A and B are shown apart, each in its own frame.
Chain A
């Protein structure tokens, strides 16, 4: 059973987050330990395992990048534990420049504005990659599976960069 089937959602990148949350509550209720107080230890164990699966499924379907990685995995390409390096000089140079710009933002006259610019720029890059990625995943287009893997690898750098922006924001504006 795929996570989509578990949550009774149609297979596709666009996920109704409201429906996801409602189904999550129903699923959790069904396997709640209270319902298994008088059950056999085997049934209790099954319920615990089901709970873990439901939680994994929710976390995976909720986050766009994890959902994309999972959909690629359903296409037979698993990059979730790979240690392979990315060697795309132009992309990596741009990533390095973004990180240098983040260093500069720390000392900018208006760090808040500098960080906002970097965030919106990165977000629009992320949207662009998802625009290219979504049709491949939705159609389970095997001929483009490697391209999809490449988009997802690059998205990981962009999401990591958003985390770094957030960390600097917390550091600069926490008081």
Chain B
């Protein structure tokens, strides 16, 4: 299957790969997996006291589209408030990366990773 140029760019030069200390109270960790393909994604957000996402990192084991989707959302969430980040939809990710229908679940994974991270943050407060 042919990947779009944007997917290849994120796949070859993934942004913000890595981890923060998950025990840091300002760090939110979202773990999600896609049973259909066995992909596993970890998204971490560093959130200020004002609820602004200052930094983001990810680690994804999966296909090019899953890596590109998580790389893209780390760029998108930076500078947003958690309420703004919460509104990011998988359809926007899929559209930006021109994902084919069989790879839509990768964008769903990325959307759910943001939600899971914010959930984790709220549970820590």
**A156 on interface, CB distance cutoff 8 Å:** yes
CA distance in complex: A111, B105 (Å):
33
- Main DSSP-derived SS at the A contact region: helix
Which of chain A's residues have a CB closer than 8 A to the CB of B64?
none
B33: chain A residues within 8 A (beta carbon): 85-88, 91-92, 95, 157
Which residue of B is nearest A149, CB measured?
A: B35
Interface size on B, residues (CB 8 A): 20
Task: Give chain B residues whose Cβ lies under 8 Å from the Cβ of A79.
Answer: 35
Contact B32 A85 (CB under 8 A): yes
Give, as a whole number of angstroms, the nearest-CB distance from A77 to chain B. 13
Interface residues of A in 156-175 (CB under 8 A from B): 156-157, 159-161, 163
> Are B31 and A82 in contact (CB-based, < 8 A)?
no
Chain-A contact segment, one of B8-16, B36-44, B67-75: B36-44
- Interface residues of chain B, those whose CB is within 8 Å of chain A, are 29, 31-38, 40, 42, 59, 61, 104-105, 108-109, 112, 116, 120
Residues on A facing B (Cβ under 8 Å): 79, 82-89, 91-93, 95-96, 99, 152-154, 156-157, 159-161, 163
